[in-house]
A and B are shown apart, each in its own frame.
Chain A
């Protein structure tokens, strides 16, 4: 029986830029930020102090990553297009969060819109991923 996800990975094109987006702009909390002697950086964040699942922000383009050149090239194409991610971030108020993140320079794929499940905007982390920013109807 699986009882929880302790770690999950989000591939990013640049870990410094990802740190800025997830920590400084979204307000995520850093759980671990350490480097192996060969330069591999292990950077994990959580969306709030209560969350148990750590998100590892990994760059598949790092020279030490165990991918062949063709795979790295494929990753680069997808990351450059902001085609990865597709997760859903919950917010108690989509329009307020939209205003705040816009002020902080976050790039949006679409403005908040009413959907049958709530209010939703689409954001990008500018490191390869996009997310739905959703205010669910029940919140």
Chain B
């Protein structure tokens, strides 16, 4: 019977593996093998610890990274979709919209406007009281 600390270190190592390789076509069986668990046991333990199934966690990680990339210029939405590990633009767009409430293109437009404002007129995004009272 593995010690609890050993189980934790194996599951955490598997989670860090997902964090570092989310852009690759990761399969649950590969991660569970790496962590020396059966697929069923790994799924159960991971979900208990992180409150998400490994697949839900992987999808959330990819969408979070996509959110970050969408704020950058010079990379197309198709490229972002592929670079974070989604195979289909349609499923990426749908998942993104379900999570964020906006389609990737619209989210990107809003982010560009906000970033431009922050860059060119920072006093518009920093609460005025902070500028007035904390900064000379």
Contact = CB atoms under 8 A, between A and B. Distances in A.
Contacts of A95: 4-5, 8
B50 interface: yes
Interface in B51-93: 51, 64, 67
A110 to B, nearest CB: 16
Interface string A37-72: 100101000000100000010100000111000000
Contacts of A35: 122
A3 interface: no
A100 B17 CA distance: 11
B118 interface: yes
B135 A34 contact: no
A35 B131 CA distance: 12
Contacts of B126: 34, 36, 42
B95 interface: no
Interface residues of B, number: 30
B12 A96 contact: yes
B23 interface: no
A47 to B, nearest CB: 13
A37 B122 CA distance: 8
B9 interface: yes
Contacts of A93: 48-50
Contacts of B123: 36
Contacts of A32: 114, 118, 125
Given A34-B118, A99-B9, A103-B16, 18 more contacts: A34-B119, A34-B122, A34-B125, A34-B126, A35-B122, A36-B131, A42-B122, A49-B64, A49-B100, A65-B135, A66-B133, A66-B134, A93-B48, A96-B15, A96-B50, A99-B5, A99-B12, A100-B16
29 contacts: A29-B67, A34-B122, A34-B125, A34-B126, A36-B122, A36-B123, A36-B131, A36-B135, A37-B122, A40-B135, A42-B118, A42-B122, A42-B125, A42-B126, A49-B64, A49-B67, A49-B100, A58-B134, A64-B135, A65-B136, A66-B134, A66-B135, A92-B50, A95-B4, A96-B8, A99-B9, A99-B12, A100-B16, A103-B16
